[in-house]
Each structure stands twice: as C-alpha cells, then as structure tokens.
Structure 1
Amino acid sequence: MLDIRDKRILEELQGDATVAVADLADTVGLSVSACWRRIKALEDHGLIARRVALIDRRRANVGTTVFVGVRTSRHSIEWLEAFRKAISDIPEIVEAYRLTGEIDYLLRLVVPSVEIYDAVYKQLITRLDFTDITSFIAMEEMKFTTAIPLRYA
C-alpha cells in the first residue's frame, strides 16, 4: 500500500518525469536520499513501469486519431496470436485492446491523414481476414492524459 508521500511522488512524476530529485524531494517534504529511495522502490516494485517523453502529435505530423473496431468470426488462440503479430510492426497503431461485446478488438491509430490510414487499413486486410472493420475518425480530442488516478493504489 502506498502512503501519501509515495502518491505525491507519483503524481509529480506523472506530470513531469524529468523533475530533479532535489526539487521533487522539496515538493513532497523528504530529504533527497529518502525521496530517491522511494522512487527506486517504486521502480523495483514495477509501479513505475518506465519513464518516457510524450511527443506532441501535431508537431510530429500525426494529428489525426482513428479508432478502429475489429470484428472476427474466429475466436481461437491461433487467430489472436496472428492478429497480435499482424499489428505489432505497424507503428501507426499505438494502442490495441481485446474487448467484450460486439467489437472484438479496438485499435487506436495516429496518422497524418485519412490517406495514410487507408494504407494502414490495406496492410491489415492483406495480413488477416476480418468479419468487419469499422473506423471512427476523431473530430476533437476532448480529454487526453497519461496520468492514472492514484486514489486506488
């Protein structure tokens, strides 16, 4: 179970993982060495999975987000693994989920244009057979965060 200082450390790091340990220690009311030990323990326990740079999608020319719902009539481990392999080397697919309900898989893609999405779509349909692929082009990003709620931790 995390205490209040661990949660504060995580909240601060979710906002800026490049913050100096000395500054973070001051913010959460710990010595530098105690703060560093807590960060190390959070990493060792896997709560901090990795530290990354968040790239501005529009400045990187991938400002269009497309959600793709995939349905299949095949529900076997072999098909699942083939699907996992089919999407693994397509960098425009930044998230993929297996779902319950009417849609079997949900993909999130970031692309510069609908034409590039169409090229990715063609890659997918040449790799596997699908029952249905439904695309949803995002008109507006209303909320985006990589920060997770820590009140349950």
Structure 2
Amino acid sequence: MVEHGSKTSGSDENAVRLDDVDRKILALLQEDASLSLDEMARRVGASKTPVWNRIRRLREAGVIRRQVAILDPEALGLEACFFVLVRTSEHDPDWAARFLAAVRARPEVIEAHRLAGDIDYILKVQVRNARAYDRFYQALISEVKIHNVTALLSMEELKATSALPIPDLTGVRG
C-alpha cells in the first residue's frame, strides 16, 4: 500500500513506496483510465472500496496528477510533428520568464524541456503542416529573442506513450 509521505533515500528520494496492488492499479489507469471501479477491482483482485481508497491516496500523494483523454493528432488534422531545438545567448531570469510565457501560451507546443548540453531547450510542436509550423515559428521569434532554432520534422512516430514504467521500490532501503 502506498505510504503517504514515505520517501526512499538516494536517487529515489522523491519516489513514493508502492506495493504490488498499487502498481497494478497504476498500470491499469495508464492503459485505460475509463475502466469502472468494479472492473479495476476485479482485475487487481480486490474489492471496490480498498481500490478506491488506494486511488485516492495515490492522488493525494501526487503519484496520479490527473486523468485525461489522449487524442489522435491525425484525426484532428494535425499531421506534422516538429522537434524544435532552441539555443539562446540569453540566460537572465527576465528572458527565461518571457520564453516560458511564450511557450506556455502556444497550444501547438505539447512538450517543452530545458536541456543540459549544447541545446538549451527542445519543444515538441504538433501542427497541420509546414506552413502552420512557420506561423508558429514567426510568432515565437517575434515574442522572444532566440539565438538559433533548428526544426526537425518527424517522418514517422515509432513509439508514443504516456505510460511511465512503474518501479518496484519495495527493496530500496531508507
């Protein structure tokens, strides 16, 4: 059972300890969060109330952030996925705040990461086509000064999942 507030030490210090039932519940939710509580309880071999209580505790512990529907970009006409590599010569807090605001304001940006290494940021941008990407690019550079931008068009998605691997931390010593 998830231990509320229980953390492990070392590199896993922020990880919540989960038991096998917690891991089964999380795996089911990642596969299909629309499963009924009855069906989830049946699949994990427990009754509804304990399963519901575990889900509630996993939410309270921050393991479950939210439950959403995953949409098909192509069904919505968003057939072009670009990975945008951003290099900047600006590293002051004001620039970073403007860049973050610009990225968060653009619905085309479905992921954004600050990186270590030669590239400062990578954005995953989902749009209809190259013209739509160019409109996104022009808007971005009009809002914030960027030293260098490289856009890479994904030719084929080989794997995409929102499911995280669920580690077994029961053997980790605190």
Normalised TM-score (structure 2):
0.86
Match status 1:95 vs 2:127 = no
- Counterpart for residue 142 of structure 1: 158
Measured against aligned partners, the alpha-carbon deviations of 1:34-76 in whole angstroms (never above 9, x if no partner) come to: 1111111111111000000000110011121100000010111
Q: How does 1:4-153 map to 2 (within 5 A)?
A: 4-152=20-168
SS class of match (1:48): coil
- 1:2 is aligned to 2:18: yes
Tell me how far apart the structure 2 counterparts of residues 118 and 84 of structure 1 sit (CA, whole Å): 19
SS of residue in 1 equivalent to 2:111: strand
Distance 1:59 1:32, change over 3 A: same
Runs of 4+ in 1 over 2 A off after TM superposition: none
TM-score, with structure 1 as normaliser: 0.97
> SS at the partner of 1:59?
helix
Structure 1 residues not aligned, in runs of 5+: none
Which sections of structure 2, spanning at least 5 residues, go unmatched? Answer: 1-16, 170-174
* Cα distance per residue 1:93-114 (max 9 Å; x no partner): 1111111111101000000100
Structure 1 counterpart of 2:90, one-letter code: R
CA distance in 2, matches of 1:138, 1:61: 15
Larger mean Cα displacement after TM superposition, 19-28 or 72-81: 72-81
Q: Aligned in 2, Cα 1:127/1:152: closer, same or farther, shift over 3 Å?
A: farther
Q: Quick one: distance in 2 between partners of 1:118 and 1:152? A: 44
Deviation of the 1:152 alpha carbon: 4.9
